[in-house]
Amino acid sequence: MALQNKNILLGVTGGIAAYKSVELLRLLKKAGANVNVIMTDSAQKFVGKTTFEVLSENPVLSDLFFDTESSVKHIDLATSADAAIIAPATANSAAKLARGIADDALSTTLLAVTCPVMICPSMNTDMYQNIRVQRNLDILERDGWHILDPDSGVLACKTVGAGRLPDPDFIFDRVKAMLTKKDLKGKKILVSAGPTVEAIDPVRFVSNHSSGKMGYAVAGAAEKRGGQVTLVSGPVNLEPPVGVTCIDVETCEEMAVQMTANLDQADIIVKVAAVADYKPINPKTHKIKKKGDKKDIAISMGENPDILRLIGEKKTKNQFLVGFAAETDDLEKNALLKMKKKNLDMIAANLVGSPDSGFKADTNKVKLFFRDGSSFDIPLMGKDKVADILLDQIIARFNT
Ligand code: PMT
């Protein structure tokens, strides 16, 4: 949503990583942005202009005097831009931008922008660490531009160290964060996500189908909105969202310990995790062997603590507590019951059992219920968008 219909200027300068900007452009377009690409002469030695023109569906600006139908095209682009990204940014381009030199289409246009700017330096490690380059990046940062630190690894010049352009996905994520309103600034958000896993023996366990996608989306969206986010996560196959403190747990007991340890500092608690209500009593320390006698075996299960209920009992009047309810039937009735029993300010009722909503899906459909009796429907959409709307609703109520 942060990028829908936004005018983005993508500056590409002459580095081997210029090819990664093609993928970045694709991600920006997919998110609904209108992208205008400006290339330096040396950038065109690495990737052709046509590639950017076809994918951006806009002419590429590279020469102030020959490329354009308008003599002030660069000013039009600068004034209409919602954000500018320079990826990759060479040492030379950073130097020119820091000193206000305007001797080509990119540096001239960037002198006229008033929107947020992100610089993604990418170069040889010694170059990157050079005091002059660092000084220029420091100037740009102090001027209010965002500097995205390069990754470390093996570079094209075979050096091992800092200087690699981060992956397009990562740059894209940070551009979204740059454009997101910081309405959670100064707030601490505690989120739980994923399943819990309860051992039967060293090989087998009891768990559920939670992929962690919904909880990770909430944590990532809260971080982009300026929140200080702690995510307590059961075992999932997801990268922790950028800028989020992630604490890995396995069992309900471990999740309870970590949620309780981080509870006092939290302003908003969102419990998305699918916690196992029961766990095997006395899990075996050795693998249970198959006897082959065709007889059933029984596993005795004991009740796990209800973490959300414990938090509901402890929460102060300044904390906002949100639960999720995964239901296969009687959605509203069951969700309202849980909200009352667990002393929640809000519950997200999640009908599960269909392939496009609930567990594992990339999309979700939920209905929010509030303590004051009101409700709010979030129709089927991507979990990222559901997370943002959920946070809109929390913030609107938390602030009152
Ligand atoms: O992870 P995904 O694949 O993206 O799927 C998302 C989801 C379906 C897991 C998520 O949207 C969801 O509905 N989460 C809640 C799942 C759940 O366990 O619901 P519940 O009705 O059993 O529990 C209600 C609430 O109590 C939940 O906030 C749960 O975290 C909490 N709880 C439950 C049991 C327990 N022992 N301790 C708890 O804290």
**Dist. CA 259 → ligand 1 center (Å):** 14
Q: Are residues 213 and 149 in the same domain?
A: no
The span from the CA of 375 to the CA of 381, in Å, is 18
Residue 289 covered by a domain:
no
Q: Which of 151, 179, 207 is the last residue of a domain?
A: 179
What secondary structure does DSSP assign to 118-175, as a single string? EEEE---HHHHHSHHHHHHHHHHHHTT-EE-PPEEEE-TTS-EEEEEPPPHHHHHHHH
Q: For ligand 1, atom 31, which residue shows the shortest CA distance?
A: 308
Grouping H, G, I as helix, E, B as strand and the rest as coil, residue 115 is coil
In a domain, 287, yes or no: no
Does any domain span residue 290?
no
- The answer, yes or no, to whether any atom of ligand 1 lies below 6 A from the CB of 339, is no
Nearest CA to ligand 1 atom 24: 325
pLDDT at 160: 86
Residue 163 lies in a domain: yes
β-sheet bridge partners, residue 206:
198
Instruction: Tell me, yes or no, if 115 is annotated catalytic.
Output: no
Query: What's 268's domain CATH number?
Result: 3.40.50.10300
Indicate which residue's Cα is closest to atom 10 of ligand 1. 272
Number of domain units in the chain? 2
Q: CA Rg, the chain, in Å?
A: 25
Is 247 a domain residue?
A: yes
Domain-embedded: residue 152: yes
Do 173 and 264 have their domain in common?
A: no
pLDDT score recorded for residue 68: 62
Supply the pTM of this predicted model: 0.92
Cβ–ligand 1 contact at 206 (below 6 Å): no
Question: Does residue 167 sit in the same domain as residue 247?
Answer: no
Burial environment of residue 318 by CB neighbours within 10 A (0 to 12, 13 to 18, 19 or more): exposed
| 286-292-294 Cα angle (round to 5) | 120
Claim to verify: residue 173 and residue 212 sit in the same structural domain = no
Report if residue 288 sits inside a domain: no
- The atom number, within ligand 1, closest to the CA of 342 reads 26
**What distance in angstroms lies between residue 324's CA and the mean position of ligand 1's atoms?**
5
Backbone angles phi, psi at 20, to 5 degrees: -70, -25
Residue 141: give the domain boundaries.
Answer: 7-179
CATH number at residue 54: 3.40.50.1950
Q: Which two tokens stand for residue 400?
A: 């009152």
Return the ligand 1 atom nearest residue 304 CA.
36
Rounded to 5 degrees, φ, ψ at 74 are -65, -35
Q: Whole-number mean pLDDT of the chain?
A: 95
Q: Are residues 217 and 343 in the same domain?
A: yes
Give me the residues paired with residue 61 across strands: 38
Q: Taking Cα atoms as reference points, which of 293, 291, 300, 377 lies closest to residue 331?
A: 377
d(C-alpha 349, C-alpha 365), whole Å: 9
How far from each other are the two terminal CA atoms of the chain, in whole angstroms? Answer: 25
* pLDDT < 70 stretches in the chain: 67-71
Last residue of a domain, one of 119, 152, 179: 179
Contact between 26 and 3 under an 8 Å Cβ cutoff? The reply is no
The sheet carrying 375-382 orders its strands as: 245-248, 228-233, 188-193, 268-271, 320-327, 346-351, 363-370, 375-382
pLDDT digits (tens, 9 = 90+) for 145-198: 999 999 998 888 788 888 999 999 999 999 999 999 999 999 999 999 999 999
Q: Is 277 in the pocket of ligand 1 (CB under 6 A)?
A: yes
The first and second tokens of residue 91, run together, are 């040492």
Same domain, yes or no, for 94 and 194?
no
Token pair 């309103």 is found at: 181
Ligand 1, atom 20: closest residue by C-alpha: 325
Q: Is residue 326 within 6 Å of ligand 1 at its C-beta?
A: yes
Q: Supply φ then ψ for residue 388, to 5 degrees.
A: -65, -40
Q: 3-class SS at 20?
A: helix
Same domain assignment for residues 27 and 167: yes
359 lines ligand 1 (CB under 6 A): yes
Which residues, including other chains, have CB under 8 Å from residue 98's CB and lie 6 or more apart? 135, 136, 137, 139, 140, 143
Q: Do 110 and 192 belong to one domain? A: no
Count CB neighbours of 243 within 10 A: 17
Pocket probe for ligand 1: among 270, 324, 345, the residue whose CB has the most ligand atoms within 8 Å is: 324
Are residue 232 and residue 323 in the same domain, yes or no?
yes
At 121 the pLDDT is: 98
Residue 166, φ and ψ in degrees, nearest 5 = -60, 160
Q: Is residue 161 part of a domain?
A: yes
Same domain, 262 and 302: yes
Q: Do 200 and 165 lie in a common domain?
A: no
Same domain for 214 and 153: no
pLDDT of residue 183: 95
3-state SS, residue 97: helix
Ligand 1 atom closest to the CA of 327, numbered from 1? 21
Letter string b/e over residues 61-80, b meaning 16 or more CB atoms within 10 A of that residue's CB: bbebeebbeeeebbeebbee
